[in-house]
Amino acid sequence: MNKAIITNNFEKLINELSYDELIFVDELKVENVEEIKRLAYIAENKKKVIVIAAKKYNVFAQNALLKLLEESPKNVEFILITDSKYKLLDTVLSRLVVEKKTYEVEDRKFEIKTITNELILELLNKDLEKEEIKAIFKELLKKEVNEEKLKAINDALLMLEFNIDKKSILTYVLLAFKERK
C-alpha cells in the first residue's frame, strides 16, 4: 500500500522506517523519478519499500511519478515523505494513504533583546524549522506588542501553515518588530 507521510522531522522519520531504497533530495525532479523507476523495476521476490523524501516536489516529477503510483510494480511499496500535503498534487495524493507523524521539537530558547540587521541575518542563515520560528514569535510576544505587531505575527502563523517560504515570513515579522530610527 503506497502512502504519504507528513512530518516535521524528515531525518527522525527516515531513521524509524524500514526500507530497501531511499531517495532523499531537496527537490524531487524528473531525473530522480527515472532513478526511482529503475529501482522499482529491479525484480524482487519479496516486498520492496522505496522511500521518497523531498522538501519540494517538482510538478513535472510528480506527474512522472503518478503513473508509477497508479501501476506499481509487483511487490513494490512507495512511501513519500513531505512536510505538507499541499506540496503534493491532488492527483498524487488520491493514490496514497496519507498519514501524519509529528515529533516534539526541543524548545529552543531565543533571547531577543533588540532586533538588528545582524540578528536578522544570523537567524536567516540558520535554516530554522517551523517550530523554531514559532518559538521566536513566542519570544517576540513577550515584548511590548501593539496591534500592528500582533497582526504581523498572526499573518505569519497563517503563512507558515500554507508553507510560504519560512525565511520570508521570519523576515517579515522581524522587520515589523525592528525599532525604527
Q: If we measure between CA atoms, which residue out of 175, 100, 98, 111 comes closest to residue 138? A: 111
Residue 40 in this model has a pLDDT that exceeds 60: yes
Question: What is the pLDDT at residue 24?
Answer: 96
Instruction: Provide the pLDDT for residue 113.
Output: 76
Say if residue 117 is exposed, middle or buried (CB neighbours under 10 Å; 0-12, 13-18, 19+): exposed
pTM for the full predicted model: 0.64
Torsion of CA 34, 36, 38, 39, to 10 degrees: 170
Residue 67: other Cβ atoms inside 10 A:
11
Q: 91 CB contacts (<8 Å, ≥6 apart)?
A: 62, 66
Mean pLDDT of 30-51: 91
d(CA 124, CA 115) in angstroms, rounded, equals 13
Give the pLDDT confidence score for residue 109 in this predicted structure.
63
What is the tens place of the pLDDT at every residue in 71-107? 889 899 999 999 888 899 999 999 999 999 988 766 5
pLDDT at 106: 60
**Cβ atoms of 101 and 11 closer than 8 Å:** no
Using the structure block, give the residue that is written with the C-alpha cell 541575518: 121
Nine-digit cell at 2? 503506497
CB of 97 within 8 A of CB of 1? yes
Please report the pLDDT score of residue 114 as a whole number: 82
Percent of the chain with pLDDT over 70: 95
Strand partners, 28: 57
Within 8 A by CB and 6+ apart from 113, the residues are: none
How far apart are the C-alpha atoms of 39 and 42, rounded to whole Å?
6
- Strand, coil or helix: what is 21? strand
What would the mean pLDDT of 8-13 be, rounded to a whole number?
A: 90
Give tens-digit pLDDT for 103-150. 876 655 667 778 888 888 888 888 788 888 988 998 888 887 899 999
Task: Look over the chain and give the mean of its residue pLDDT values, rounded to a whole number.
Answer: 89
Q: Which fold has domain 3-101?
A: Rossmann fold (3.40.50)
Looking at residue 99, its amino acid is E
Least confident range from 12-26, 125-139, 156-170: namely: 125-139
